[in-house]
Structure 1
Amino acid sequence: MNTVVLNNFPCEIDFDVLLNKLHIKKESSYSAELEMMATEAQLLARPKIVYKDATIEVKGDNFVVIDGIKLTSRVLRGNMEEALKAFPFVVTCGTELEAWSKQYEDYFANFCADTIKEMVLRSAIQTFEAHLDKEFELAHAANMNPGSLADWPITEQIHIFNLLGNVEELIGVQLTDSYLMLPIKSVSGIRFPKEGTFENCQLCPRENCPSRKAPYCP
């Protein structure tokens, strides 16, 4: 299946960045508690990645067929106009960090734990992109994620999982009946060669999104 699992790579939680994200000053009374949480998370975090080297077999008006599985999206099809290869993937903060976070029940600590998990996930995504681009010599590449755009709904997430095989067995990520992933701080998608740039954010009108990478372009 050409499926690759990455589960042993560095994961560093930058405490200064964490403080900045939470708008907490170092001299704050919350700083010591947050530093303890970050230290615990650093020791326990085991983010994981699974991806596949796949072939784009058919391109229709509003769909592509990758390794025998049909993905329906006009935007995805348009962005893959020149691509012959595609790399479906799932990246997660890891079940270990998810289990750790469940001990925090009050709102503040729970929000801090959620932010830490998000930071670990984003770091793992960067690791995945750098690894893939180097491994396959992708000079230019883009990602698309089911559920990020109305044109490619979250129900399409099942196809990413079908392309990859038993994702839960490989990296511990479950897909629920409502097409959500557990751990929640996980992301699925497809990375593919593409000249120029594309971000899902360009077609998403949601204002004030903390994860926005590009301005909305109607």
Structure 2
Amino acid sequence: MNKVVLDNIPCEIDFKELQEKLRINEESDCLVEIKMMAAEAQLLARPKVVYKNAKIEAKGDNFVVIDGIKFTSRVLRVNLEEALEVFPYVVTCGTELEDWSKQFEDVFTIFCADTIKEMVLRLAFQTFEAHLDKEFGLGHAVEMNPGSLSDWPINEQIHLFELLGNVKELIGVQLTDSYLMLPIKSISGIRFPKEGTFENCQLCPREKCPSRKALFDKEYAESYKIH
């Protein structure tokens, strides 16, 4: 399947949610400024997604081959045991919002702009999930992200981008020499149908992680037989 680009994503920033995330009450002196920032961001934001419906061509003990590209990960391999197809993707808040955020210089407004970009990224990802469900009936699915586990390191990012083609040309996202993405508020991964639940966090023993979505499960982690 050719790459699909979603670049007409509705973007309505929930100001009450933004207030809660920033911990700003109605009496705050900066409330007007934050409302202006949110309005500007909503006007300029152009979040984007690129993905494809890819076929699994081969499976080894600790790798899978997807549309001719080899991904090395024991966890990914185990999770794809029953899968025949997957949906590699990159989702971004967009270069437009990234450029907008560069005007801010003080710590507080930088943090506000960063929070707004994070919210827009989440909205784009939710749109992507709903799109996959509608187009492919992919209701119950999970995803894995390069760099989220030591078993699937961040340098595997380059293979994901190779699988999707010229991501920079398609949606403006590029990889740095250290395999991080620009704009920073972008996420990449492989989404696939899977019975039960899975979160990368369940296999990660790192403590005090601000992004943790689930508790570390030692027994569950050992079931993957990661060497």
Paired position in structure 1 for 2:205: 205
Paired position in structure 2 for 1:21: 21
Give the superposition deviation at 1:210. Answer: 4.3
SS in 1 for 2:29: coil
Give the superposition deviation at 1:216. Answer: 1.9
Q: Deviations over 1:73-122 (max 9, x none)?
A: 11111111100001110000000000000000111100110010011001
Paired position in structure 2 for 1:151: 151
Give the superposition deviation at 1:213. Answer: 2.5
The amino acid across from 2:34 in the alignment is: L
SS in 2 for 1:191: strand
Paired position in structure 1 for 2:162: 162
Q: Distance in 2 between matches of 1:199 and 1:166?
A: 28
Paired position in structure 1 for 2:224: none
Q: Distance in 2 between matches of 1:210 and 1:31?
A: 26
Q: Distance in 1 between matches of 2:119 and 2:207?
A: 21
SS in 2 for 1:46: coil
How many corresponding residue pairs? Answer: 218
Give the superposition deviation at 1:9. Answer: 1.6
- Say whether residues 1:190 and 2:190 are aligned partners: yes
Kindly tell me: are residues 16 and 207 of structure 1, through their superposed partners in 2, closer, same or farther at Cα, counting changes over 3 Å?
Answer: farther
The amino acid across from 1:73 in the alignment is: S
Q: Distance in 2 between matches of 1:62 and 1:148?
A: 17
Q: Distance in 2 between matches of 1:39 and 1:122?
A: 17
Q: Distance in 1 between matches of 2:149 and 2:129?
A: 21
* Aligned residue runs from structure 1 range 130-141, under 5 A: 130-141=130-141
Q: Deviations over 1:163-209 (max 9, x none)?
A: 00000000000111110110000011000111111111212234454
Paired position in structure 1 for 2:99: 99
Q: Distance in 2 between matches of 1:21 and 1:203?
A: 28
Task: Flag structure 2 segments of 5+ consecutive residues without an equivalent.
Answer: 219-227
Does 208-217 or 98-107 show the bigger shift?
208-217
Q: Distance in 2 between matches of 1:158 and 1:81?
A: 23
Paired position in structure 2 for 1:173: 173
The amino acid across from 1:147 in the alignment is: G
Q: Distance in 1 between matches of 2:22 and 2:204?
A: 25
Task: Flag structure 1 segments of 5+ consecutive residues without an equivalent.
Answer: none
SS in 1 for 2:158: helix
Paired position in structure 1 for 2:126: 126
Give the superposition deviation at 1:6. Answer: 0.1
Identity within the alignment, %: 78
Q: TM-score, normalised by structure 1?
A: 0.97
The amino acid across from 1:92 in the alignment is: T
SS in 2 for 1:21: helix
Give the superposition deviation at 1:26. Answer: 1.9
- Say whether residues 1:75 and 2:70 are aligned partners: no
Does 112-121 or 129-138 show the bigger shift?
129-138
The amino acid across from 2:82 in the alignment is: E
Kindly tell me: are residues 155 and 3 of structure 1, through their superposed partners in 2, closer, same or farther at Cα, counting changes over 3 Å?
Answer: same
The amino acid across from 1:9 in the alignment is: I
Q: Deviations over 1:124-145 (max 9, x none)?
A: 1111111112211123211000
Give the superposition deviation at 1:212. Answer: 2.9
Does 198-207 or 20-29 show the bigger shift?
198-207
Give the superposition deviation at 1:215. Answer: 2.0
Paired position in structure 1 for 2:223: none
Paired position in structure 2 for 1:12: 12
